Amino acid sequence: MNAVTPASRWHARLDIDFAWRLDKTIIQHRKHQGPLVIQKPFYPEVETCHVYLIHPPGGVVGGDRIDLNVSVGAKAHALLTTPAANKFYRSAGAHADVRQMFVVNEGAILEWLPQENILFNDSLVNLHTRINIARNAKLLSWEIQCLGRPASHESFSHGRLRQRFELWQDNKPLFIDRSTIEGGSEIEQAQWGLAGYSALGSFILFPASQAELELIRQTMTMSNEDFRFSVSLIGGVLVCRCLAHQAEPMREVFIDVWARLRPELINKQVTIPRIWNT
């Protein structure tokens, strides 16, 4: 396998600032470097701005770096997603770094709903998501990681995923989640770990109360042969966890959670991004 040289590495960066203008959310500023761009904004809900993040190379290799910086201005409402799964290819030794930083200002709403990340065997990935949220702002977010490619009979026997998710308010942490998964390690099969499942994901809602917790507990199936699901309330942050053998059943679970919680949080029914149907 050829080593990745500095000249062959991609450094992609995208900065987006959303603002509330004339009764709808607009993109006030955007700047990109390298292969990370967006399509034009879409308005299926009139005032809410739907944006699709596009990474033309179609995958990430060791040594690549992706920086996403998003600011949602006061009273603005942005929904960000991706058109397809993001693939992380095998590495000769260099890590792929993805840093996703969000600022959600006073009275704003962020929905961060990317499609899954697929980690090929021998991939080395550092994934860091940090969200700074103001008081009276709202968040609905999920992230899904798939280890290996079960449909191609490829396990995640070698490689590493370092994942960190942080939610902050007023320079204080509301929720910090860190994990390191080594390919072929005990965590993949242990009941205290992934229990033999190859896909893992989290759905985060803020702010939340006991009412939202009870809604999900009463209306969602906690587990079946395709997935395991749990929900907890941690200091006003609703955290749903899911394990599955593939991404598809997990997406269905999270879309169901989203459909139940969105009307409670922002008084709007779910509007499925068109790109998910293509």
List, for residues 203-258, the tens digit of each pLDDT value: 999 999 999 999 999 999 888 888 899 999 999 999 999 999 999 999 999 999 99
Q: How far apart are CA 123 and CA 3, in angstroms?
A: 13
Q: How many CA atoms lie within 13 A of 118 on its CB side?
A: 20
User: Residues 268, 262: contact at Cβ < 8 Å?
Assistant: yes
Q: What is the pTM of this model?
A: 0.94
Q: What pLDDT, on a 0 to 100 scale, did the predictor assign at position 6? A: 46
Sketch the domain layout of the chain as residue ranges. 9-277
Q: What pLDDT, on a 0 to 100 scale, did the predictor assign at position 155? A: 93
Query: What is the number of other CB atoms lying within 10 angstroms of the CB of residue 219?
Result: 10
Q: How far apart are CA 243 and CA 260, in angstroms?
A: 20
User: Residues 62, 123: contact at Cβ < 8 Å?
Assistant: yes
Q: What pLDDT, on a 0 to 100 scale, did the predictor assign at position 151? A: 83
Residue spans of the chain under pLDDT 70: 1-8
- Is residue 235 packed enough to be buried (19+ CB in 10 Å), middle (13-18) or exposed (0-12)? exposed
